[in-house]
Amino acid sequence: MKKQSIFLLTILLGFVLISCEKDDNDTNISIFPFLKTGNTWTYKMTIDGKDAPSNVIYNIQSIDDDGYCVIKFTAGNNSHTDYRWYANSDFFADESGSETDYWFPLFYKNNTIGKKWSSPIEDEDLGTIKREIVSTTENISVPAGTFSNCIKIKETFTKDSKIINYYYVSSQAGIIKKESTGWADIDNNPRIYFPVIVELKSKNF
């Protein structure tokens, strides 16, 4: 029986903008200025050196009074609003839906080099996800422009040390770039790895 498992969680789902904000007068998450209903980010993706056939677009559809938001995700001709994200006065939680027990911050209000944290649950294939802030002064150039003083977050997995991802986040513009290690398990062959780069192409704010 052919078994194929291609890891895209940290390529697509893991890259969803943790973009949430309450009412403009609410100070709980207004500390993140790029988080507003209607904000849209368009990204280009390169997989193993080749451009993906379409852009990836994220749009903040709505934000409720508790800090949860609905994200419209579009890739090619497909789009949906299944994602739910959360932010408060301390952090953004990504890849964690709307369940309190699953919150897994991508970055914090206060980001210091060396700060580390782990996912509250394990990934079936990759184990516990670990994140660490490795820089707060990155200057990143992407098609959308150059962004200064970005936070660089390193992401690793306890069951496979070869998979390492880096996020570059601007406190003013959100996620700017992600450098990922994609992987695939095909039949009983050894796991294969390939680079995946996602870069901000444009934004509407």
Instruction: Delimit the domains of the chain by residue range.
Output: 4-203
Of 152, 161, 164, residue with least CA distance to 196: 164
- CA 47, CA 68: separation in Å to the nearest integer? 31
pLDDT digits (tens, 9 = 90+) for 40-92: 999 999 999 999 999 999 999 998 888 888 889 999 999 998 887 778 889 98
* Sequence-ordered list of residues with C-beta below 8 angstroms from that of 50, at least 6 positions apart, any chain: none
> Can you give the pLDDT at residue 162?
98
- CA 108, CA 49: separation in Å to the nearest integer? 32
Q: Is the pLDDT of residue 16 over 90?
A: no
- Yes or no: say if 196 and 13 are a contact pair by the CB < 8 Å rule: no
Enter the pTM of the model.
0.83
Q: How far is CA 123 from CA 90, 160, 172, 176, 177, in A?
A: 25, 11, 31, 25, 23
28: left (phi over 0), alpha (psi -120 to 50) or beta: alpha
Query: Which numeric CATH code is attached to 4-203?
Result: 2.40.360
- Yes or no: say if 149 and 168 are a contact pair by the CB < 8 Å rule: no
* Beta-bridge mates of residue 1: none
Summary count for the chain: helices (H), strands (E): 0, 14
Q: Is the pLDDT of residue 133 over 80?
A: yes
> Can you give the pLDDT at residue 82?
82
> pLDDT over 70 for what percent of the chain?
83
pLDDT digits (tens, 9 = 90+) for 165-186: 999 999 899 999 999 999 999 9
Q: pLDDT tier at 30 (50, 70, 90 boundaries)?
A: low
* Sequence-ordered list of residues with C-beta below 8 angstroms from that of 33, at least 6 positions apart, any chain: 171, 172
> Can you give the pLDDT at residue 53?
94
